């Protein structure tokens, strides 16, 4: 055995402890780095030597076998699954909150308040059908009512447009992450050819998967050769060095043509196959943007737009059915039975309610919706066109038909909901239930994700106290190895300089 074997052992010990301290410093430096998993220098004894004579083996020291990344794969997979669900409900809760702001209930400017004010003024006009002031109030509050419906429709369309843009942004994000993962795969494969661990590069890749998992459901696979695959939405997106892309395509045929903003996006793979995801932000955005409340469909913007259209049409039709059979205060000489044929609400404020007679014939109009409802040309131009009398002969004091109009407040205009005000309250209540469900699910997922993150951090996170303890431990070992070198040096000096000098 070489005289210098002991010196080799302690020198190798110095280098090993130095490497361990380097790893500790790396951990401390990255304590606040997102996605970083702490690392550990795995030490192993070097190959021992056979003692001369064949009796036992003599140790030859220690070396760093590899630098290990401390990470739990099960917790990573669990986090990705929970994070996907959180992304979905977070998107839904945000968008439903925007819908609630459109209804703005309860408030003094909400639809129900505006409707109530209009109906209150109708009751006041019944008391004094000839009052110019009250007639003006009826017209102005009717304009406010129709403007409110118009505004709500525009806001719903804006929510659809905004969500459409956000969908495009999320798709671009996924594509960017996929490209970065494929590049990291190449780097990892290159750096690990000699058996090393590209720990920091793997951390970056896992952080990108964390980001994708918020947007859509993911699955990862890595074979024994280190080839990495990523599935997004149930389909292969990254195949080690190669990756597929998603694209958004404007619809040529609207899914909900009666309410949808034209040109909403569908998501496709670059080969034209449709993209689908079980959860994530994209699913939340698509559900609320496209959901019409039909069986198996979420109650999203199209559902509430249709309900608002149904309310606008139902209320306007019921109101017009009475108003067109009543007589106004204008002295037009028209005394035929059946009323003056004047629409109160219409889908086109520039059209005439009727073709001149006698007999008067009502002009047809398009179906009234929240988007197009307005007061008629006649009502807008002349408050005397508000028709309250049941007979031409009883003008101006008669309010027979006016009473019927005011009593619509108590009439079951909508068979499934009741009165107009009940309809609005029911719609707002349904929205409130949906919004509360989304918030509750989001809060529950927040707790599950937080719990998973805590478990994940307890394993992969850097503890300053633990790293300081390791630093002191490695420092003392380094100092002891250095002291051993001094000792070995003194021993060798005795052999070289002092042996054979006795008796001289």
Q: How confident is the model at residue 409 (pLDDT cuts 50, 70, 90)?
A: very high
Q: Are strands 374-375 and 49-50 parallel, antiparallel or unpaired?
A: unpaired
Q: Which two tokens stand for residue 193?
A: 């050819």
343, exposed or middle or buried, with CB in 10 Å at 0-12, 13-18, 19+? Answer: buried
Cα–Cα distance measured from residue 24 to residue 18, given in angstroms and rounded to the nearest whole number: 10
Range list of H helices, 264-300: 281-290
Say what the pLDDT of residue 502 is: 58
Q: Where are the alpha helices (DSSP H) in 351-499?
A: 377-381, 400-406, 420-460, 464-493
- Alpha carbon distance 486, 491 (integer Å): 9
- pLDDT score of 336 more than 80: no
Q: How confident is the model at residue 217 (pLDDT cuts 50, 70, 90)?
A: very high
Are 218 and 230 in contact, with CB atoms under 8 Å apart? yes
pLDDT band at 54 (very low <50, low <70, confident <90, very high): low
Q: What is the pLDDT of residues 411-422, one digit of tens each?
A: 999 988 899 999
Q: How confident is the model at residue 3 (pLDDT cuts 50, 70, 90)?
A: low
Q: Say whether pLDDT at 504 is over 60.
A: no
What's the mean pLDDT when you consider all of the chain?
A: 91
Q: Is 4's pLDDT higher than 70?
A: no
- Residue 89: band (very low, low, confident or very high) from pLDDT cuts 50, 70, 90: very high
Residue 358 has a pLDDT of 81
At 23 the pLDDT is 95
* pTM score: 0.88
CB–CB of 344/375 below 8 Å?
A: yes
Q: Flag the least confident range among 4-18, 42-56, 211-225, 456-470.
A: 42-56
Average pLDDT over residues 207-223: 95
- Tell me the pLDDT band of 239, cut-offs 50, 70 and 90: very high
In the chain, domain spans = 5-70+462-490
In angstroms, the CA 487 to CA 10 distance is 10
């Amino acid at each position: 055995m070489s005289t210098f074997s002991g010196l080799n052992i302690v020198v190798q010990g110095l280098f090993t402890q130095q490497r361990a301290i380097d790893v500790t410093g790396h951990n401390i430096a990255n304590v606040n780095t997102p996605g970083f998993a702490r690392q550990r220098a795995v030490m192993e004894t070097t190959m021992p030597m056979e003692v001369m004579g064949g009796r036992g083996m003599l140790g030859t020291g220690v070396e760093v076998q590899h630098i290990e990344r401390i990470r739990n794969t099960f917790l990573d997979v669990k986090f990705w699954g929970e994070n996907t669900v959180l992304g979905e409900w977070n998107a839904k809760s945000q968008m439903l909150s925007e819908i609630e702001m459109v209804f703005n209930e309860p408030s003094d400017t909400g639809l129900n308040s505006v409707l109530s004010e209009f109906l209150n003024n109708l009751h006041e006009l019944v008391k004094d059908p000839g009052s110019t002031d009250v007639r003006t109030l009826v017209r102005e509050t009717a304009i406010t009512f129709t403007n409110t419906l118009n505004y709500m429709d525009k806001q719903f369309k804006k929510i659809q447009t905004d969500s459409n843009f956000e969908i495009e942004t999320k798709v671009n994000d996924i594509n960017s992450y996929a490209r970065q993962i494929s590049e990291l795969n190449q780097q990892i494969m290159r750096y690990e050819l000699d058996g090393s661990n590209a720990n920091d590069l793997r951390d970056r890749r896992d952080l990108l998967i964390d980001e994708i998992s918020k947007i859509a459901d993911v699955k990862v696979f890595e074979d024994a050769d280190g080839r990495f695959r990523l599935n997004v939405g149930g389909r292969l997106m990254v195949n080690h060095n190669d990756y597929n892309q998603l694209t958004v395509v404007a619809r040529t045929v609207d899914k909900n043509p009666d309410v949808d903003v034209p040109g909403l996006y569908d998501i496709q793979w670059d080969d034209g196959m449709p993209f689908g995801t079980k959860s994530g932000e994209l699913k939340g955005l698509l559900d609320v943007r496209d959901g019409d409340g039909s069986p198996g469909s979420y109650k999203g913007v199209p559902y509430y737009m249709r309900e608002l259209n149904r309310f606008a049409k139902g209320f306007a039709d019921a109101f017009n059915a009475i108003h067109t059979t009543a007589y106004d205060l204008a002295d037009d000489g028209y005394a035929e039975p059946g009323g003056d044929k004047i629409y109160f609400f219409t889908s086109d404020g520039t059209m005439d309610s009727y073709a001149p007679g006698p007999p008067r014939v009502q002009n047809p109009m398009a179906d009234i919706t929240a988007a197009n409802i307005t007061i008629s040309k006649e009502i807008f131009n002349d408050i005397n066109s508000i028709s309250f009398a049941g007979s031409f002969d009883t003008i101006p004091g008669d309010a027979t038909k006016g009473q019927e109009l005011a009593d619509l407040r108590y009439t079951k205009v909508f068979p499934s909901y009741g009165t107009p005000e009940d309809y609005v309250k029911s719609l707002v209540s349904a929205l409130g239930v949906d919004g509360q469900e989304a918030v509750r699910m989001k809060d529950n997922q927040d707790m599950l994700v937080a719990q998973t993150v805590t478990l994940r951090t307890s394993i992969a996170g850097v503890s300053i106290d633990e790293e300081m303890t390791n630093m002191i431990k490695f420092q003392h070992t380094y100092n002891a190895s250095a002291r051993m070198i001094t000792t070995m040096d003194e021993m060798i000096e005795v052999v070289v300089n002092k042996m054979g000098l006795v008796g001289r």
